Amino acid sequence: MTAPVRVNNPLVVNVELAERSYPIVIGRGQVLTLGQRIAAMRPRSKAAIVTDENVASHHLPATRSALAGAGVNSTCITVAAGEGSKSFAVLERVCEGLLDARIERGDLVVALGGGVIGDLAGFAASVVRRGLDYVQVPTSLLAQVDSSVGGKTAIDSRHGKNLIGAFYQPILVLSDTALLDTLPPREFRAGYAEIVKYGLICDAEFFAWLETNAPEVFAGGPAREHAIAVSCRMKAAIVGRDERETGERALLNLGHTFGHALEAAAGFSGRLLHGEAVALGITLAFAFSARCGFLPAPVAARVARHFAAVGLPTNIGSIPGGPPGADTLMALIAQDKKVRQGKLTFILARAIGAGFVAHDVESAAVRAFLEEQLAAR
């Protein structure tokens, strides 16, 4: 555990990937330095900002001003807010917009937004002109602690979430924690689920710290920046050791197999936000771990209790409009990216802070577990 970060004192976490290494800069007011940083990294370049309508209303003017102040000309491509923008149609519009703006290989794409924008803009950058450099400026808690770091870019398919994409690293992640001040409480809670995930997979002490300090994380200030920095350090270290998810990085998917299936079944809509699906998925993963005998049931209950304490869902029956059936969930789980030769892979746990990759999980066991959960709701 590291000492809490002081407000207004930017902290830099490096993602070590040889010649593709890059910094994560964390601190309040850092978006004001965006233009200076880009001008230093890519002199005489121009930038195309990809954002959504909600983020644009709050943060686009300041971002463009920061770029202009450093002599970086910019253009903007704005898409609708929400998971629905991670589609082929919107990807095409973004790619054509980058070409219309004559963004060249020496220029930059700036992903200004949450996880949806980071995934969409990063994927567009990976394919336009066979690869443009891009910068992540995450504006949601979920993006600051998870999706902006590590180079996973993707759009969704009718078969499931994030099934079409590429590993493509940014050259900079600029996490301005002041941008979180405009985040709706529900969105902040959803992002908090990803912070909890880090403690559950590999740092029991951090999880215990969150149990005590969650109110301060939600209130803002040093505790919030500390939680973001610890999360980024953990992810940066894992990505540095396993960039393309051939081993250890799979642990970062704790809760995501169940969560992505629930999110897809809810139509990638406001019924269930990604972070809410992750919280519910982690709760299910710990309950399934207990059912399989990997950990005591009270440990799974402790995890569920913490999510419930901050207002995150822990019961499959709490999904607005009603939960999907076991058949629907099993069909979606079968499309998970971790499936190998038709065998299911889950991230499970032997204790808090002791996640592991479970290969060849029997479909029948998962179905029986889901049927129990649905019956108990």
**Active-site residues: which are they?**
130, 152, 194, 235, 245, 249, 253, 256, 260, 274
The C-alpha atoms of residue 259 and residue 250 are separated, in whole angstroms, by 15
The C-alpha atoms of residue 234 and residue 254 are separated, in whole angstroms, by 14
Sequence-distant (≥ 6) Cβ neighbours of residue 169 within 8 angstroms? 15, 17, 20, 22, 150, 151, 243
Q: Are 346 and 294 in contact (CB under 8 A)?
A: no
**Which ranges of the chain would DSSP assign to H, the alpha helix?**
34-41, 53-69, 88-100, 115-127, 141-142, 185-202, 204-219, 222-241, 256-265, 274-291, 297-309, 326-333, 363-376
Neighbours of 168 (CB within 10 A): 20
Q: Are 321 and 266 in contact (CB under 8 A)?
A: yes
Query: Using CA of residue 72, residue 78, residue 84, residue 86, what is the dihedral sign?
Result: negative
Helix, strand, coil shares of the chain, percent, nearest 5, are 55, 20, 30
Measured N-to-C along each axis, helices 256-265 and 326-333 cross at an angle, to the nearest 10 degrees, of 120
Cα dihedral value 224, 230, 231, 233, nearest 10:
140
